[in-house]
Copies of this chain bind each other. A is one copy, B any other.
Amino acid sequence: MLSTMQDVPLTVNRILAHGRLVHGRSQVTTWTGEGEPQRRSFAEVGARAVQLAHALRDGLGVRGDDRVATLMWNNAEHVETYFAIPAMGAVLHTLNLRLPAEQLTWIVNHAADRVIIVNGSLIPFLAPLLPHLKTVEHVVVSGPGDRAPLEGSHAQVHEYEDLIADKPTTYDWPEPDERQAAAMCYTSGTTGDPKGVVYSHRSIYLHSMQVNMAESMGLTDRDTSLIVVPQFHVNAWGLPHATFMTGVGMLMPDRFLQPGPLAEMIEREKPTHAAAVPTIWQGLLAELNARPRDISALTQVTIGGSACPASLMEAFDRLGVRVCHAWGMTETSPLGTVAHPPAHAIGTEEEFGYRLTQGRFPAGVEARLTGPNGERLPWDGRSAGELEVRGPWIAGAYYNGPDAEPLRPADKFTEDGWLKTGDVGTISPDGYLTLTDRAKDVIKSGGEWISSVALENALMAHPDVAEAAVVAVPDDKWGERPLATVVLKEGATADFEALRTFLAEEGGIAKWQLPERWTVVTAVPKTSVGKFDKKVLRRQYAEGELDVTRI
């Protein structure tokens, strides 16, 4: 029996129309580095988004599901593209301006972008790539920056403001099917080609509602959100859509992402909320310690991307700023969990522990843990497994080019359609996630998992150890066993037996998890962002480059 409810699709168009009309007074404020910031009301942003859609359609011939890419900082124009492109039925493709040139080239060609909208300040990055971007017919430039490097390009070059000037501010939008593509974003995995995640109108709409739910960020038009997390990174955690839906002010740092300008914009513009990765907050904290500012308006800070150290959380607590952990990934739109403590823990000594978890799942994100042998693990706060998730704003495949079927690699999606997050952790009985390892870094020994991170943390607590990395190496009997790689402090000598005893007696490591293989290195190899590069260690071991002692 069908319901008698109206069949109204959940679309980005609806968010645009609503924010422009009902929240027309709310503002997108973009930092300009000097003087007054640029202030644009939602009414203006909405009208300009409509003008942009006309310009793309009539001026540049964008049609159907053409991809229109952006290579932009967080600013009002980038917000305009967020609404114009999906509303006209095309697909917004946000390009990560931190990627190596070859990867970005690969991505633009794979998505077959027809247009790139670029901030003037990023032309020096785009121009050398442009000859390799065969599908790109038009480049639209917004904001200050020398245009000269684009001269002689195969693509037509346009000025954003010229293009939208005098265009109509109403548009007879198509009403898209809510499952149609609205936006896409590539993840740059550590191995293999980048993978495209394609968000639907439906997923963006539902995700926006979830962000605005009181249990998540709970923002209203009384709030202003400082959106530091880049718009090219999972749609800035969905914040431009979510804030436009409910009239939350947006404070956009543009290219001014250094601690000084950030502290200044907080003091001057008084955002109530902010969203960024931990490193940004580390820098801001140092800045505030060096040059104290009035940041009293800021009450809630959402931290994601990687785990927030307890010390950072405590430091912000002392400043009266409530830091709230969240977990997600490009494939989860990204809201997966938010770490507001449960009611029963508030005011107890459990509260801080809950805040250090990755957070609690909302109703829209189903979660399960899968053990090393594919078994389903209980939510007991102890059993560690790979996190798999399911829900209406979670990817079930990757984009595989304009004419190909979506890609569903078996290491990323289960047979029943759940996303394998590649994260290993535990879930408490009340639904709080604690991540401990990346799945590729755990050691599968005799059908059980050994946490490399737990071994590393225990080792690094020893007074002789400066740094330690543990990786899985092949073992005839157990499948895999841990190899402990240790950097000693100056003056210390290697005593593997003593370290092993220390792990068991002080580190709480179970006997069967203790490494037999040990090696001393002068430094742990690191990736460009400073993480342990375990791929390198595994290769060095395989090729016999390490001097391994077996005990």
A141 at the interface (CB under 8 A from B): no
A16's closest neighbor in chain B, by CB? B363
- Of A17-25, A282-290, A470-478, A485-493, the one with at least 4 CB within 8 A of chain B: A17-25
A181 neighbours in B (Cβ, 8 Å): 1-3
Could you tell me if B246 and A213 are in contact, using CB atoms closer than 8 angstroms? yes
Could you tell me if A200 and B396 are in contact, using CB atoms closer than 8 angstroms? no
A340's closest neighbor in chain B, by CB? B220
A249's closest neighbor in chain B, by CB? B343
A182 neighbours in B (Cβ, 8 Å): 3
Interface residues of A in 63-122 (CB under 8 A from B): 65, 91
Interface residues of A in 432-459 (CB under 8 A from B): none
Please list 6 pairs of residues, one from A and one from B, whose beta carbons are closer than 8 Å in the complex, sorted by A's number.
A2-B200, A3-B179, A3-B181, A4-B197, A6-B417, A245-B363
Task: Report how far A15 CA is from B363 CA in the complex, Å.
Answer: 6
Could you tell me if B5 and A202 are in contact, using CB atoms closer than 8 angstroms? yes
Nearest CB of B to A183, in Å: 9
A18's closest neighbor in chain B, by CB? B363
A209 neighbours in B (Cβ, 8 Å): 206, 209-210, 213
Could you tell me if B360 and A394 are in contact, using CB atoms closer than 8 angstroms? no
A226 at the interface (CB under 8 A from B): no
Q: 10 smallest A-B Cβ distances: which pairs?
A: A3-B200, A22-B431, A6-B396, A1-B65, A214-B218, A18-B363, A4-B397, A1-B181, A4-B198, A5-B203
A215 at the interface (CB under 8 A from B): yes
A363 neighbours in B (Cβ, 8 Å): 14-15, 18-19, 22, 245-246
A203 neighbours in B (Cβ, 8 Å): 3, 5
Could you tell me if B220 and A1 are in contact, using CB atoms closer than 8 angstroms? no
Task: Report how far A5 CA is from B417 CA in the complex, Å.
Answer: 10
Known pairs A220-B340, A344-B25; A4 contacts B429 (CB<8 A): no
Could you tell me if B392 and A6 are in contact, using CB atoms closer than 8 angstroms? yes
- The number of residues on chain A lying at the interface, defined by a beta carbon within 8 Å of a beta carbon of chain B, is 78
A199's closest neighbor in chain B, by CB? B3
Could you tell me if A395 and B200 are in contact, using CB atoms closer than 8 angstroms? no
Task: Report how far A21 CA is from B432 CA in the complex, Å.
Answer: 11
A5 neighbours in B (Cβ, 8 Å): 179, 198-200, 202-203, 392-396
Nearest CB of B to A291, in Å: 30
Residue from B17, B220, B402 in contact with A214 in the complex, judged by beta carbons closer than 8 Å: B220
A7 at the interface (CB under 8 A from B): yes
Interface residues of A in 176-204 (CB under 8 A from B): 179-182, 196-200, 202-203
Please indicate which of the listed interface residues A182, A210, A430 has the most CB atoms of chain B within 10 Å of its own CB.
Answer: A430
A212 at the interface (CB under 8 A from B): yes
Could you tell me if B246 and A2 are in contact, using CB atoms closer than 8 angstroms? no
Interface of A with B (CB < 8 Å)?
Answer: 1-10, 14-15, 17-19, 21-26, 65, 91, 179-182, 196-200, 202-203, 206, 209-210, 212-215, 218-222, 245-247, 340, 342-344, 346, 360-364, 366, 379, 390-399, 402, 406, 417, 419, 429-431
Could you tell me if B346 and A222 are in contact, using CB atoms closer than 8 angstroms? yes
Task: Report how far A15 CA is from B391 CA in the complex, Å.
Answer: 12
Known: A3-B182, A23-B430. 9 other contacts (CB 8 A): A5-B200, A5-B393, A5-B394, A7-B179, A21-B431, A25-B344, A206-B209, A209-B213, A222-B346
A179 neighbours in B (Cβ, 8 Å): 2-3, 5, 7
Task: Report how far A6 CA is from B412 CA in the complex, Å.
Answer: 13
Nearest CB of B to A234, in Å: 13
Could you tell me if A1 and B344 are in contact, using CB atoms closer than 8 angstroms? no
Could you tell me if B212 and A6 are in contact, using CB atoms closer than 8 angstroms? no
Task: Report how far A202 CA is from B202 CA in the complex, Å.
Answer: 12
Residue from B19, B221, B346, B392 in contact with A343 in the complex, judged by beta carbons closer than 8 Å: B221
A394 neighbours in B (Cβ, 8 Å): 5-6, 8
Task: Report how far A21 CA is from B430 CA in the complex, Å.
Answer: 7
Task: Report how far A197 CA is from B397 CA in the complex, Å.
Answer: 37
A14's closest neighbor in chain B, by CB? B363
Nearest CB of B to A509, in Å: 31
Task: Report how far A197 CA is from B2 CA in the complex, Å.
Answer: 11
Task: Report how far A14 CA is from B390 CA in the complex, Å.
Answer: 11
A417 neighbours in B (Cβ, 8 Å): 6
Task: Report how far A26 CA is from B392 CA in the complex, Å.
Answer: 25
Nearest CB of B to A355, in Å: 14
Task: Report how far A281 CA is from B360 CA in the complex, Å.
Answer: 36
A65 neighbours in B (Cβ, 8 Å): 1
A390 neighbours in B (Cβ, 8 Å): 6, 8
Known pairs A221-B343, A431-B21; A391 contacts B8 (CB<8 A): yes
Residue from B22, B361, B419 in contact with A22 in the complex, judged by beta carbons closer than 8 Å: B361
A23 neighbours in B (Cβ, 8 Å): 430-431
A7 neighbours in B (Cβ, 8 Å): 179, 392, 396
